[in-house]
Amino acid sequence: MTVKRSDGRKAHDLRPMKAKVGIVPNADGSAMFSFGNTVAIAAVYGPRQLHPQHMQDPTTGILRCTYDLLSFSVSDRKKPGPSRRSQEISKVTEWALLPVVDLKSFPNTVIDVQIYILQADAGTRTAGINAAALALAHAGIPMKDLVCSVALGKLDKDIVVDLNKEEEDFEGGEGPTDFAIAKVANGDEFTLLQLDGKIQPEKVKEVIKIAHEVCKSIYDVQKKALKEAVEEQ
Ligand code: CDP
């Protein structure tokens, strides 16, 4: 790999990761996850009775994710409140997590997952998904596995992992490519594949293979955070 990255990383290196669970005392479960300067927190509330009542389903609970960038998380202050972007990311986050959460055990209820980005330097949806998976586990929600998420992209022709904002805005070659991926930690099931930009179809296989590998390191960081929380009790 010859690609030169602005922060000196090799093509397939993630930014330094940090994770901690139990950071929001008033939530039923919570976690922080960061990739370098991108910092996400997630708080889980529930399962609790879903209102309005007509939305309740006696056969299952529902998962409701809300993602938002805090105003001060980006260089140009973000207007508070929901946007098209935040609604889309909330929805894909929900879809990324749904396959691992056992909602059948909680009929008529909702599990709320609130994700806030404290600092944004690209990859916020992926850091948010990693934090949310941890927060759900910390809340004691039955899950078949954790979910790990990362964004890959291209710098000119090289595939690179976990792009920062400068890399995500790279205009050389075929222009910026941002490929957000989430997968079940211990399986081959991908729960998010969201491509912004261009990539040759034959390179998609390579991206999936690299994502599979780097998600192992993300899972290690998530596991360590959960283990530390158990040991602290
Ligand atoms: O954050 P992610 O890569 O998942 O999503 P994006 O929509 O591709 O946004 C990329 C980056 O643009 C964010 O991580 C922020 O650093 C930046 N951004 C911003 O500065 N202001 C916004 N209102 C939205 C995004």
Query: Does the domain formed by 17-232 have CATH 3.30.230.70?
Result: yes
Q: Is the pLDDT of residue 173 over 80?
A: no
What's the confidence (pLDDT) of residue 205? 94
**pLDDT tens readout for residues 46-62:** 999 999 999 999 999 99
Q: Which two tokens stand for residue 175?
A: 């222009």
Ligand 1 atom nearest 123 alpha carbon: 3
Mean pLDDT, range 77-101, rounded to an integer: 97
The 10s digit of each residue's pLDDT in 107-135 is 999 999 999 999 999 999 999 999 999 99
Pocket test for ligand 1, best of 76, 92, 124, 152 (most atoms within 8 A of CB): 124
**What backbone torsions phi and psi does residue 157 show, to the nearest 5 degrees?**
-110, -10
The predicted model scores a pTM of 0.97
Quick one: pLDDT at residue 4? 81
The string of pLDDT tens digits covering residues 66-76 is 999 999 999 99
Which residue has the least CA distance to atom 19 on ligand 1?
74
Q: What is the dihedral of CA 230, 18, 76, 8, to 10 degrees?
A: -170
Ligand 1 atom with least separation from CA of 124: 1
Contacts of 99 (CB under 8 A, 6+ apart): 147, 184, 189, 191
pLDDT attached to residue 2: 67
Residue 1, pLDDT above cutoff 60: no
